Chains A and B, each alone.
Chain A
Amino acid sequence: EVQLVESGGGLVQPGGSLRLSCAASGFTLSDHYMDWVRQAPGKGLEWVGRTRNKANSYTTEYAASVKGRFTISRDDSKNSLYLQMKSLKTEDTAVYYCARDYYGSGSAPLGYWGQGTLVTVSS
């Protein structure tokens, strides 16, 4: 069974940093694209970024709103995905979900989601 469990959320001041983790199980992480998606309180889903699979050299892409501030990494040996967030802004306040592609393609839907972790940026 595919499972994704996020952790690391919390309260951080504007300008601060935070690292989120996503523990994956039930599949081979290196075979899959992994994304981060966020949802601000009462708002819709916003794609944050992704890391491609091993076959595509683990390259990354980011939404314009976070590019240069957020970094996605992965450690397949630990079955873990990470989101390093720096220079946080109040508008980064959201529930952050990690998600896995449904069938190992760049254009595939996000078929598996974690339960999310809340990041609150406030002074």
Chain B
Amino acid sequence: SYVVTQPPSVSVAPGQTARITCGGNNIGSKSVHWYQQKPGQAPVLVVHDDSDRPSGIPERFSGSNSGNTATLTISRVEAGDEADYYCQVWDSSSDHPVFGGGTKLTVL
């Protein structure tokens, strides 16, 4: 089945830009969704279909997808953005969602 790969951790200073990647074979041909999960809480959808934001998600969260890499970009990072972030795609061959392993974002 399809495999997506994320870096285990990303660190960034407050006010800077965080970029979290999601790699997969020709992932640019798929729609990528991103979830934020804070400790003890359920995941929250922050970007869907590569670059769309659900209502209520700050414009600081954006996404892109091309070639073999999708990227979640968080601008002007705040302490409250510290969380685990998961990418997810739809694997048409197995007909089910596939999650990346998650990336822990640390705000220094």
A interface with B by C-beta (< 8 Å):
35, 37, 44-47, 49-50, 61, 63, 97, 102, 106-111, 113-116
Bound Cα distance from A42 to B54, whole angstroms: 27
- Residues in A with CB closer than 8 Å to B76 are none
A63 B96 Cβ-Cβ under 8 A: yes
CB of B97 within 8 A of CB of A44, answer no
Instruction: Tell whether A50 pairs with B96 under 8 Å between CB atoms, given A45-B86, A111-B54.
Output: yes
B-chain residues with CB within 8 Å of residue A35 when the two chains form the complex: 97
Give the contacts of B68-86 with A (CB-CB under 8 A): 84, 86
| Among B95, B97, B102, contact of A110 (Cβ-Cβ < 8 Å) | B97
Residue of B nearest to A98 (CB): B42
B3 to chain A, nearest CB (A): 13
A88 to chain B, nearest CB (A): 21
Q: Is the CB of A47 within 8 A of B45?
A: no
Q: Does B44 contact A (CB under 8 A)?
A: yes
Asked if residues B54 and A102 are in contact (CB atoms below 8 Å), the reply is yes
Task: Tell whether B24 is near chain A: CB-to-CB under 8 Å.
Answer: no
Beyond A44-B99, A45-B35, A106-B90, 7 additional contacts (C-beta under 8 Å) are A35-B97, A37-B99, A45-B37, A46-B99, A61-B95, A102-B45, A102-B54
- Pick the contact of B101: A44, A106, A107, A116 (CB < 8 A): A44
Total interface residues on B, CB under 8 Å, equals 25
**B98 at the A interface (CB under 8 A):** yes
B65 within 8 Å of A (CB atoms): no
Interface of A is mostly: strand
Instruction: Assess whether A110 is in contact with B45, with CB atoms less than 8 Å apart.
Output: yes
Is B51's CB within 8 Å of the partner chain A? no
Q: In the assembly, what is the distance between CA of A11 and CA of B37, in Å?
A: 25
Scoring B residues 31 to 50 as 1 if CB is less than 8 Å from chain A, else 0, what string do you get?
10101010001111100110
Q: Which residues of A contact B43 (CB under 8 A)?
A: 45, 97, 110, 113
Partner of B88, one of A49, A50, A61, A109: A109
Say yes or no: A109-B96 contact (C-beta < 8 A), given A45-B102, A116-B42.
no
Note all chain A residues with C-beta closer than 8 A to B84.
44
Task: Tell me the smallest distance from the CB of B56 to a CB of chain A, in Å.
Answer: 11
Pair A113/B44 contact, Cβ less than 8 Å: yes
